[in-house]
Amino acid sequence: MPRRTAKSQAVKSTAPSVLVPKVTPKRFYGHGLPRIDVQALTGKLVVVEGADGSGRSTQIARLVEWLEASGHHTVQVGLKRSTLVSEELEQAQQGNILSRTTLSLFYATDFADQLENTILPALRAGSIVLADRYIYTLMARDLVRGMDESWLRNLYGIALAPDAVFYLEVRPELLVQRVCEKNQALDFWESGLDLGLSRDMFDSFLKYQGLMRDTFRRLQRIYGFQIVDGECAPDAISEDLKRKIEHVLRGT
């Protein structure tokens, strides 16, 4: 605890206090990364998971506003944003030319690059990292496509266990409405068309998103993240998330 001087107390009486997040121990899920000292990671890692149309981006934008207003430095990461392979990954996806294991490893490379070059340095600097999806989406996509779970758990043993994970759950029937309203079209991958569940894109979307939701629930039991009802009003969800994140910051 910092020493309270007369001066700092004077400041405190005129300005709202800024909460200094409590440092809590961090761990990797598996083997982790070579030469990383987890004790030096003083920031917080908060993950928001959910399908497209679950309100993920909206909620993250609001959390950033709120955290910065409260005096916390934030850093945002997401899938397919690495310097190393994001372009190549985009190309590969457009052409649909990679087989399953390859695509999976490509995504893992993208993830590892951001983990080592963005997430860990930010946590070392004491920032709050907001991740727009994390390993769970990557694992769920692969599991739905029949990849071996133990292989995936070993692969993502490099991942740092976040301080909090929120999964915004929305029924596929409502997701499809939201996505149609936003894009007036369905996306090939988000509809799981590569799985051959149905030749009809709309049907395929519903089936695929249903499988994804089931898989997330299963992963929830392994990784213990918090399921948030993404069908509530956005304001109510924000308030709920803020409350939960406050606990994370206070270490309670």
Residues that bind another protein (CB under 8 A): 30-31, 33-35, 83-85, 87-88, 91-92, 97-102, 104-106, 108-109, 112-113, 116-117, 148, 151, 154-155, 157-158
Whole-Å CA distances, 224 to 49, 214, 216, 244 = 13, 15, 11, 15
* Rounded least distance, CB 184 to another protein, Å: 31
Per-residue buried b or exposed e for 135-162, using 16+ beta carbons within 10 Å of the residue's own CB: bbbbbbbbbbeeeeeeebbebbebbbbb
DSSP state of 2: P
Q: Which is nearer to another protein, 17 or 154 (CB)?
A: 154
Q: Least distance in Å: CB of 224 to another protein?
A: 23
Q: Which is nearer to another protein, 66 or 106 (CB)?
A: 106
Nearer to another protein, 58 or 154 (CB): 154
CB 92 → another protein: shortest distance, Å?
6
**Residue 54: closest CA among 245, 244, 230:** 230
Q: Nearer to another protein by C-beta: 113 or 240?
A: 113
Q: Which is nearer to another protein, 27 or 199 (CB)?
A: 27
Q: Closest separation between CB of residue 116 and another protein, Å?
A: 5
Q: What sign for the dihedral angle of Cα 113, 26, 47, 235?
A: negative
Name the nearest CA neighbour of 246 among 72, 61, 58, 56.
72
C-alpha–C-alpha distance, residues 4 and 21, integer Å: 18
CB of 201 to another protein, least distance (A): 26
CA–CA gap between residue 60 and residue 223 (Å, rounded): 21
Between 147 and 174, CB nearer to another protein: 147
Residue type, 214: D
For the CB of residue 76, give the shortest distance to another protein in the complex, in Å.
20
Sign of CA dihedral 70, 72, 73, 78: negative
Whichever of 115 and 228 has its CB closer to another protein, that residue is 115
Question: Residue holding tokens 């598996």?
Answer: 30
Q: Report the nearest approach of another protein to the CB of residue 144 (Å).
A: 18
